[in-house]
Amino acid sequence: MRDAEGSLAETLHGLLAELIAVPSTTPPGDTRAICAAAAAHLEAAGYAVSMPMRTSPIANLVARMGEGTPCVVFNAHIDTVGTGDRAAWRTDPFAATLEQGRIHGLGANNCKGSAAVHLWLAGEVARRGGPAQGSLVFVLAGDEERLGPEGTAFLREEGLIEPDTLVLGSPTGNQLIIEERGILWLEVETAGRAAHGGDPPAGDNAILRMMRLLERLRAELGPRLDARRSGEKVSTMNIGTIHGGENPNVVPDRCIARIDRRLLPEEPVEAAAAEMEAILAGTGEPDGSYAVRRPVGTDGFSAPLDGPFVSALAASIEEHQGRPPEVLNALASSDGRFFARDGIEIVNFGPGDGATSHAANEFVPLAEMVDAALILRSFVERTLGFAG
């Protein structure tokens, strides 16, 4: 590694170590301390910094430099999943341990590695005089791991970020994700009548009602979804949880199932929910015997590869890597979905491999962090320029 890149690697390792050392696991999703630690760097660089929070302890950080359009927003979530089985970790999950070019630690890959890159980038742009035009915004968001409303969704609702392009720091191996499926979670709750397990006909079994509903949904919706494809993306449904009953000797009077639907970008979430609800209504179960709720529902997005911002990022990747970027198929969802119908360019880009997220010994390659930092510096120069 050249001397300049070696120095950059040391800086990025230090920033990531600082972020990993501050626990921000969900639950409880407390991101106040980690936002405060990052804010110190951004304030020192001259950014206007705020820490919006609607529901404690889920804090967010918004740092801004420049004014007007175009507005380029970098977003990385800084909440993590839990450590899981600590015995499965070879290293301290709250230390950034460098082994064979990989930095291990909880959240290193998803998404504190990108957060560290963004902090360096913020300082680098400030060192070069700030943006020559428009505005540059860095967001560290909470509440992403539980797909919750208190992070990026809250910032959008309050008008605290209004991007022309949103660059999310998802781990993509420094390639591009420009399309993402929408996500709909349905919660179905059935009601019945309790009775002694020795006399089932005296009751009304809520689990059996749930079985009838889910079987109808699977039988009717399954073949429809099999036919809905767009390239590598498929429309899917997963029955994720079913909970009901108390004891084997009691006819259950309540059962809850939670269902995950992933939607092609052209499938509106409202239409998908209405389709599922219509199928359930067709079972003929009595009125009031079940209820349907939507705890999560957001559309998918698709950004044009030849859009001004996506093409600028693609050109920066090609300039640095010597080849055009790959366009990856996303299995998971990002906070970009909250802007899906805003008519902006949304792209996921960052170091690391999404397949290694949420597991013991999570890691991000340090060389990929260095590459990401240099690519994003070039991207900012192409889109906003440097004033200095």
String of DSSP letters for 297-309? EE--EE--TTSHH
Helix (H) or strand (E) holding 138: strand 135-141
State the CATH number of the domain containing residue 249: 3.30.70.360
Tell me how far CA of residue 107 lies from CA of 27, 36, 58, 113, in angstroms: 14, 17, 17, 7
- Within-domain flag for 239: yes
Query: Strand 290-298 vs strand 233-234: parallel, antiparallel, or unpaired?
Result: unpaired
Residue 269 confidence (pLDDT) above 50? yes
Give yes or no: residues 13 and 98 share one domain. yes
User: Residue 281: helix, strand or coil by DSSP?
Assistant: helix
- Average the pLDDT over 6-31 and give the result: 96
pLDDT of residue 163: 98
Number of domains in the chain: 2
Residue 293 confidence (pLDDT) above 50? yes
Give yes or no: residues 319 and 351 share one domain. yes
Last residue of a domain, one of 241, 275, 298: 298
- Within-domain flag for 212: yes
pLDDT digits (tens, 9 = 90+) for 122-172: 999 999 999 999 999 999 999 999 989 999 999 999 999 999 999 999 999
Last residue of a domain, one of 280, 298, 316: 298
Tell me how far CA of residue 334 lies from CA of 166, 214, 262, in angstroms: 11, 28, 13
Residue 357 CA to residue 353 CA, distance in Å, equals 7
- Within-domain flag for 388: no
Give yes or no: residues 269 and 345 share one domain. no
Give yes or no: residues 171 and 309 share one domain. yes
pLDDT digits (tens, 9 = 90+) for 338-380: 999 999 999 999 999 988 888 899 999 999 999 999 999 999 9
* Residues forming a β-bridge with 185: 260, 296
Give yes or no: residues 194 and 64 share one domain. no
Name every residue whose Cβ is closer than 8 Å to that of residue 276 and which is 6 or more positions away in sequence.
186, 217, 221, 259, 261, 292
Residue 326 confidence (pLDDT) above 80? yes
- Within-domain flag for 172: yes
- Average the pLDDT over 311-340 and give the result: 94
pLDDT digits (tens, 9 = 90+) for 19-76: 999 999 999 999 999 999 999 999 999 999 999 999 999 999 999 999 999 999 999 9
Last residue of a domain, one of 253, 273, 298: 298
- Average the pLDDT over 307-336 and give the result: 95
Residue 176 and residue 313 in contact, taking contact as beta carbons nearer than 8 Å: yes
Give yes or no: residues 146 and 270 share one domain. no
Give yes or no: residues 197 and 250 share one domain. yes
- pLDDT category, 1, cuts 50, 70, 90? very low
Domain enclosing residue 222, as ranges = 184-298
Token pair in block for residue 312? 């600028």
Give yes or no: residues 309 and 227 share one domain. no
- Within-domain flag for 56: yes
* Residues forming a β-bridge with 30: none
Give yes or no: residues 133 and 85 share one domain. yes
- pLDDT over 70 percentage in the chain: 99
Give yes or no: residues 12 and 88 share one domain. yes
How far is Cα of residue 359 from the mean position of the Cα atoms in its chain? 16
Query: Strand 301-302 vs strand 179-180: parallel, antiparallel, or unpaired?
Result: antiparallel
pLDDT digits (tens, 9 = 90+) for 168-222: 999 999 999 999 999 999 999 999 999 999 999 999 999 999 999 999 999 999 9
- Average the pLDDT over 331-335 and give the result: 88
Give yes or no: residues 142 and 191 share one domain. no
- Average the pLDDT over 235-241 and give the result: 97
367: left (phi over 0), alpha (psi -120 to 50) or beta: alpha
- Within-domain flag for 34: yes
pLDDT of residue 98: 97
Residue 327 confidence (pLDDT) above 50? yes
- Within-domain flag for 147: yes
Give yes or no: residues 329 and 343 share one domain. yes
State the CATH number of the domain containing residue 7: 3.40.630.10
- pLDDT over 90 percentage in the chain: 94
Q: What is the pTM of this model?
A: 0.91
pLDDT of residue 299: 94
- Within-domain flag for 262: yes
Q: Is the pLDDT higher at 1 or at 246? A: 246
